[in-house]
Amino acid sequence: MNSLKWDHTMELGHEAMDADHKQLVALVNQLAEGIANNLGKQAYDAVLDDLMAHTRAHFGMEEKLMAACSYPYADEHRSEHARLIKDARDYRAKFDAGAEPSISLLYFFDQWLTRHILASDRELASFLAGNK
Ligand SMILES: [Fe+2]
Ligand SMILES: [Fe+2]
């Protein structure tokens, strides 16, 4: 199973954001390993809990950054965060209801994370870089 790769395209040049994103990518990769090695629902649940907790903390950090610099696209960015959290919770509910963790779960988190980092977070990081 392919792991989500961290590479320079995901590096946004904002130390705190990059550090969090790296950690989130590592958790998605841990999830991939758990699924590939059939580590069982318990291991998988723990990684998902971790992923959700770190994501919430990370989104909170970005939202503080946006508020502090009166980021003009803060509302859109916040809505995107809220939608990502809702999608992840809905997705997780399916698995709590008995669905088996699979490659589609991984694909979901892969897309969920990389699309947001490469688009919305990149815009925020460039704005922050211009406002130092
Ligand atoms: Fe974000
Ligand atoms: Fe982010």
pLDDT at residue 131 greater than cutoff 80: no
Domain-by-domain residue ranges, the chain? Answer: 24-130
Average pLDDT over residues 6-11: 84
pLDDT at residue 19 greater than cutoff 90: yes
- State the Cα–Cα distance between residues 80 and 88, nearest whole angstrom: 12
Residues with Cβ within 5 Å of ion ligand 2? 121
What is the per-residue pLDDT across 39-59, written as a single tens digit (0 to 9) for each? 777 778 888 889 899 999 999
pLDDT at residue 132 greater than cutoff 70: no
What is the per-residue pLDDT across 54-99, written as a single tens digit (0 to 9) for each? 999 999 999 999 999 999 999 999 999 999 899 888 878 887 887 7
To 5 degrees, how large is the angle CA 122–CA 64–CA 30?
A: 60
Tell me what pLDDT residue 2 has: 60
CATH pick for 24-130 out of 1.10.10.10, 2.160.10.10, 1.20.120.50, 1.20.120.160: 1.20.120.50
Ligand closest to 80 (CA) is 1
Give the chain's count of helices (H) and strands (E).
5, 0
Stated length of the chain: 132
Q: Which residue has the higher pLDDT, 80 or 34?
A: 80
Q: How far is the CA of 91 from the centre of ligand 2 (A)?
A: 20
Ligand closest to 117 (CA) is 2
- State the Cα–Cα distance between residues 119 and 16, nearest whole angstrom: 17
Q: How far is the CA of 116 from the centre of ligand 2 (A)?
A: 7
**How many whole angstroms from its chain centre is CA 36?**
20
